[in-house]
Amino acid sequence: MTHEHADTVSPHSPATVAVTAGRPPRVQGGPVNAPVVLSSTYVSQGVPGSEQLYTRGGAETWEPFETALAALEGGAHGIVFGSGMAAIAAALGDVPPSGVVVVPRHAYQVTLGYLDDLARRHGLEVRRVDVADTDAVVAALDGADLLVAESPTNPMLEVADLPAILAAARERGVPSVVDNTFATPLGQRPLNLGADVVVHSVTKYLAGHSDVVLGAVVTNDDDAAARVCAYRTLHGAIAGPMEVFLALRGLRTLHLRVERANANAAEIARRLADHPRVAEVRHPSLPSDPGHERAAAQMASFGAIIGMRPVGGIEAADAVVAAVELWVPATSLGGVESTLERRRRFTTESLTVPEDLVRMSVGVEDVEDLWADLSRALDGLPV
């Protein structure tokens, strides 16, 4: 796979790209926003050419979003899917039966579940590694068919040395896929760091309002893009036009939402680190965080996800989640609203995730209101 991307990098700032990319041509009297086309099929007769035939193969409403996301990631191809897992499955579609995949031991639990399912059905070997341990990752790449990476990881917020592990994969001829959902293209651009493919749960920060379920793949490699598009068509993993329209509308304010959420998260993490009822807090912005120096070197921002363990274990974690009023107990993340949950309430979560870990997705509300709500819940814990 190639890594040439100079022609796909915009001269404008990411904030400007988020607003301007994927707009319709400037035609007198034309729309500023791309219209939604609600048609499953198109007029066609004779020998089919390159024109639209049927929406499973392509839709006008997808193209503006795909163009805008590709521009934000510095990629040549953006491909939207009906869900984040559909995008991940497509990105992993080239792994042969009995192949070897290297993946973080802490990652999106459905990604890990999908790989485990492939292992059961097709003999796939899944090598789970501590992605923050660069030597361990590099060692696991020997004989591998694919590297899947998250950084920061879900939900432990470990930070991988992406340039190093992606370079090691490239040297060994191992294709690489990076899930960039947590960081967003504003926090890091994995293609620029050496990744072959980037995947997103568009449901999260890109759409940003907890009202659509979508996924996306971005790549600079023409062959990889063709394979992913073919997977989407053959598996019917397509997105609805209204959902993609909403995602593009959300993308227009990505920079504003991410800037506010990141600032809120850094402030809340700082205060949590000093709170007597908090046993541990993880956020790359904290100088004490194990991933701080690495994140500062390779990321433009630290993200808006916090990991917090209150004093008192599982009971305290559940009590905090039950006591908050502004924070919403919910399993998703990346919306304008702040959400939190104890991750090990899911039996499918990695067993090495602490049972009392509360994953917090910080939104764009007033930070003082968020802190007052959270600190009240923490102060109410039994001493």
Active-site residue, from 23, 42, 54, 56: 56
- Rounded CA-CA distance 115/87 in Å is 14
Do 176 and 196 form a contact (C-beta atoms < 8 A)? yes
Q: Looking at 105, 128, 204, 294, which residue is catalytic?
A: 204
> Residue 177 to residues 116, 150, 161, 326: CA-CA distances in angstroms?
17, 9, 14, 36
Instruction: Give the count of beta carbons closer than 10 Å to the beta carbon of residue 315.
Output: 12
Under a CB-based contact definition with an 8 Å cutoff, are residues 78 and 132 in contact? no
Annotated active-site residue 179? The verdict is yes
- What is the Cα 151 distance to its own chain's centre? 9
Buried b (16+ CB within 10 A) or exposed e, 68-103: bbbbbbbbbbbbbbbbbbbbbbbbbebbeeebbbbb
Residue 136, judged by CB atoms within 10 A of its CB (0-12, 13-18, 19+), counts as middle
CB 72 within 8 A of CB 206: no
Q: Decide: 243 and 123 in contact? Cβ < 8 Å.
A: no
Which of 108, 128, 189, 359 is flagged as catalytic? 108
Of 130, 145, 161, 179, which is the active-site residue? Answer: 179
Q: Is the peptide bond before 163 cis (omega within 30 degrees of 0)?
A: no
Burial (CB count <10 Å: 0-12, 13-18, 19+), residue 352: exposed
Q: Is 56 a catalytic residue?
A: yes
DSSP 182-200: TTHHHH--HHHHT-SEEEE
Contact 330, 341 (CB under 8 A): yes
By annotation, the residues acting in catalysis are 56, 108, 179, 204
